[in-house]
């Protein structure tokens, strides 16, 4: 069984430690734990790993956040992966820092990466793992906030929260969406 795990973010060193790139960080950590390596391929950096007999194709789009759907769609088609086996890992301003929530559908919440995915797929019914980055910014400063680096306080617990995000994904792959939401959404 194949799964596509897509971490949302922007390519390049300039964005590596920003809040908007938490999707990349989670996918990096998962790939590292499962002994995979990323290779630059069409529209993404790609790593193929195994977990409990399942084949995970982990991608970090090279298309920049606003065109994430193009990369997602290409890799879904390339590996013939159904939408039920896709997980999108994204930052979320509506959740407090470090709060994790998995959902099987929902709005884009103003997130440009999710907007593009929904436009390309023509549906909002896909699994997303939302990683709370908080909303500690003044009116009109949202872009600077998400493209800003983690605060020292956030960095203290960031790795622990990324570890929990990995558990969400492994649970989803092993036992499915409903059981994962029941087991992990309040951790």
Active site residues: 20
Is-contact 38 31, C-beta < 8 A? yes
Is-contact 76 5, C-beta < 8 A? no
What is the largest distance, in Å, between two alpha-carbon atoms of the chain?
A: 47
* DSSP output for 120-185: HHT-S-SEEEEEE----S-TT-HHHHHTSBPPHHHHHHHHHHHHHHHHHHHHHHHH-HHHHHHHHT
Residue 47 has what DSSP assignment? E
CA distance 57 to 47: 6
* DSSP output for 88-108: EEEEETTS-TT-EEEESS---
97's CB contacts (< 8 A; 6+ apart) are: 132, 133, 134, 136, 154
């Amino acid at each position: 069984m194949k799964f596509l795990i897509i971490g949302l973010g922007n390519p390049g060193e300039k964005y590596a430690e920003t809040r908007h790139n938490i999707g990349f960080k989670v996918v990096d950590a998962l790939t590292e734990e499962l002994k995979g390596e990323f290779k630059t391929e069409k529209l993404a950096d790609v790593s193929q790993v195994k977990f409990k007999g399942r084949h995970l194709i982990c991608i970090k789009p090279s298309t920049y956040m606003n065109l994430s759907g193009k990369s997602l769609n290409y890799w879904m088609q390339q590996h013939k992966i159904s939408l039920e086996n896709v997980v999108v890992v994204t930052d979320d301003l509506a959740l407090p820092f470090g709060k994790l929530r998995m959902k099987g559908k929902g709005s884009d919440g103003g997130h440009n990466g999710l907007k593009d995915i929904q436009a390309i797929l023509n549906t909002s019914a896909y699994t997303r793992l939302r990683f709370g980055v908080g909303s500690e910014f003044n009116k009109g400063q949202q872009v600077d906030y998400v493209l800003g680096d983690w605060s020292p306080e956030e960095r203290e617990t960031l790795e622990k929260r990324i570890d929990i995000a990995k558990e969400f994904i492994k649970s989803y792959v092993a036992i499915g969406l409903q059981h994962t939401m029941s087991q992990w959404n309040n951790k």
